[in-house]
Chains A and B, each alone.
Chain A
Amino acid sequence: MKLNRNTRIAAVVAFLAIVFITVPAAISASGRFDLYYTLTSVALLSIASAGVWLTFYIGRINIGQGAYALMGGYVSAILVMNHGWSFWLTLPVAGLFCAAASVLIGLPILRLRGVYFAMVTLVLTEVARLLALALPITNGAKGIVSIPLPGALSVFGITLIPDFATLQNSRLAFYLLAVTLMVVCFAIMYRLVNSRIGKLCQSLQQNEELASSIGVNIANLRVIAYAVSSFFGGVSGAIFAAISQSIYPSSFTVTDSVNFMLNCFLGGLGYVFGPMLGTLVLYFGWDLLFQTGQFQLLIYSGLMIVLMLVLPNGLLSLAETTRKKG
């Protein structure tokens, strides 16, 4: 998207104003406090989807983000419950744990391409679920429940974030947390994609052998991209565990992994902000169709098929074509 600098700054400011001021104001005015939960979920899911998008960017179809989200959730939950860590500390630790795990897993499986990689990551999601069921530390199918809400975070005696349990409206707090992280995440993504590494990633997407022959360290690069992707997955899973105050082996399943992928597709694989828009549309679409009862899935999937037929390159490709014509 080639907008000039001023327009871009204006767009970012407008976006920040909307998510941090307009949305909370509108919600408190309308009294629809349940929307906080929905929007928080959208923000968190879009973080995980952003990770998936990054693996798409290096030309890999990733259907394994659910595994890292689950892993991140468990790491955070276990550290909080068994070791008494602060939630705020477990958040980066969960992300880093997932990133480290993804390096170990990624080194062999990133050699795979196309459907092979897609299928192996799909299987990875199942492995994560089965592991969570089988390991003693994860407490099997019963999961880990009644995780305390995030406590206060203070640096040098200054309270940066108050204790969530003492807040009147912890939903607003979670919303602000999730949205802040989403903004940070997409800022990182945008920076990454428009940097030297981003260009190199794009060269991987087009032709790995050619990139390698020019001297791009493809093995390194794809592991880095995969690790960043898994980091996002882990962080979003950890916050999910904190919001629902529980985590089960079935918290993130194959369906979730597929949904992360669908969010990217729907938004458009060529656009950094695609996953955000895709998540918003898919999640809200699903919610809105709730009234149709038993036909919910039918209409939802039907619409998805139609959307795919009309806009196979994602929703954001719509903006592209109108600009070209005009």
Chain B
Amino acid sequence: MEQVIANGLYLGAQYALIALGLTLIFALMNVLNFAHGQMYVLGGFITYTVYGQLGLPFVVALLASGITLAVIGALMEKFLFRTVIRRSHREESTMLLAAATAFFFDAVILLLFGEKQRGVPKIVKGVFNDVGIIMPYDRIVVGALAIVFIAAFVLYMQYSRVGRAMRALAQDRVAAQLMGVRVDRYSMIGFAMGAMLAGIVGGLLVTITGVNSGIGGPISIKAFLMVMIGGAGVVGGAIAGGFILGMMESVGLTVLREYGDVTYLVIFAALMVFLSVRPNGLMGKPWG
């Protein structure tokens, strides 16, 4: 049982970090970023190239993943999403754009990195084996790093000037603008930060599970799940959703093992029931 909980916590930390980026973009722009999983894959491949191929230190690779994705996110906001939001009659049109960018990233990743599964050397060797828990050290390091990033993100949103501006924007765009918040600028920063988080998780997880060009879509779906559980556009909700999904996956894989591959089916079904009781997730605001 301790093992299951430890696995759940480790998974949850990763998932929460993915969901944070998605929910940040949603909160600021009302855009459901379909390309989030692809951004994650891209981050993974950048770390793979810098750390695995070029042999530079892991920290450099992680930074490279984060910064590249932040730049890509900023450019996407400035040249794609902002234009479409301005010109379109209906907000939902951004979804087509998001889906198209997801396809685009898929194509780019496939062309640049091929379809093979890629892994990198372990960052820390050895296995922790005590108090009934077996866990490789690199997983512990990655899990801890993820928690550090989550904490840093929350603190940044809470106490920095940029974070305050973004929270104001998420609460009420027009009011924030009237108070003198530069809406365009902070939307761009927010999108960049969301993309950066996706890139960083990609970089972290490539050391454990490796990466291949096909996992973008499934990762996006998982991120959507977490955001739904916690409530869209709420930082606390994304973190809660991430840990809940991680825990459910870990417990489900153990408990439902003898029934075959039904863990996700059960999770989906439970989510449907949950959402019919609480349509806005755990902490979400009513949306409409």
Contacts and interface: CB of A to CB of B under 8 A. Distances in A.
Interface of A: 56, 61, 105, 108-109, 111-116, 118-120, 122-124, 126-127, 130-131, 133-134, 208, 254-255, 258, 261-262, 265-266, 269-270, 294-298, 300-302, 304-305, 308-309, 312-313
B215 to A, nearest CB: 13
A111 B225 contact: no
B244 to A, nearest CB: 15
Interface in B52-98: 80, 83-84, 87-90, 92-93, 95-97
Contacts of A113: 279, 287-288
B111 A294 contact: yes
Given A116-B284, A304-B100, 4 more contacts: A113-B288, A119-B224, A297-B110, A301-B106
Interface string B204-235: 00000000000001000100110110001000
5 contacts: A108-B276, A127-B265, A261-B95, A300-B107, A305-B100
A123 B221 contact: yes
A134 B261 contact: yes
Nearest to A207: B288
Nearest to A127: B268
Contact of A308 (B84, B110, B228, B264): B84
A284 to B, nearest CB: 17
Contacts of B268: 123, 126-127, 130
Contacts of B90: 269, 313
A258 B99 contact: yes
Nearest to A112: B279
Nearest to A118: B32
B269 interface: yes
A305 B108 contact: no
B127 interface: no
Interface of B: 26, 30, 32, 34, 80, 83-84, 87-90, 92-93, 95-97, 99-101, 103-104, 106-108, 110-111, 217, 221, 224-225, 227-228, 232, 260-262, 264-265, 268-269, 271-273, 275-276, 279-281, 284, 287-288
A261 B225 CA distance: 20
Contact of B276 (A111, A131, A296, A308): A111
A295 B284 CA distance: 41
Chain A binding site: helix, strand, loop or mixed by DSSP? helix
Contacts of B271: 120, 123
Contacts of B273: 108
Contact of B275 (A61, A120, A133, A258): A120
Nearest to B91: A114
A171 to B, nearest CB: 30
Nearest to A304: B100
B142 to A, nearest CB: 27
Contacts of B32: 115, 118-119
Contacts of A308: 80, 84, 93, 96-97, 100
B29 to A, nearest CB: 11
Contacts of B103: 297, 300-301, 304
A78 B272 CA distance: 26
Nearest to B228: A119
A116 B84 contact: no
Contacts of B225: 119, 123
Nearest to B76: A305
Given A134-B265, A262-B96, A308-B84, A301 B107 contact: yes
A298 B288 contact: no
B96 A265 contact: yes
B27 to A, nearest CB: 11
B221 A301 contact: no
Contacts of B26: 115
B100 A313 contact: no
Given A109-B275, A120-B275, A270 B89 contact: yes
Nearest to A278: B96
A120 B93 contact: no
B107 A297 contact: yes
A269 B92 contact: yes
Most buried by B among A109, A126, A131, A265: A265
A126 B106 contact: no
A237 to B, nearest CB: 20
The 9 closest A-B pairs by CB, nearest first: A108-B276, A301-B103, A312-B88, A297-B107, A298-B107, A301-B104, A265-B96, A304-B100, A119-B224
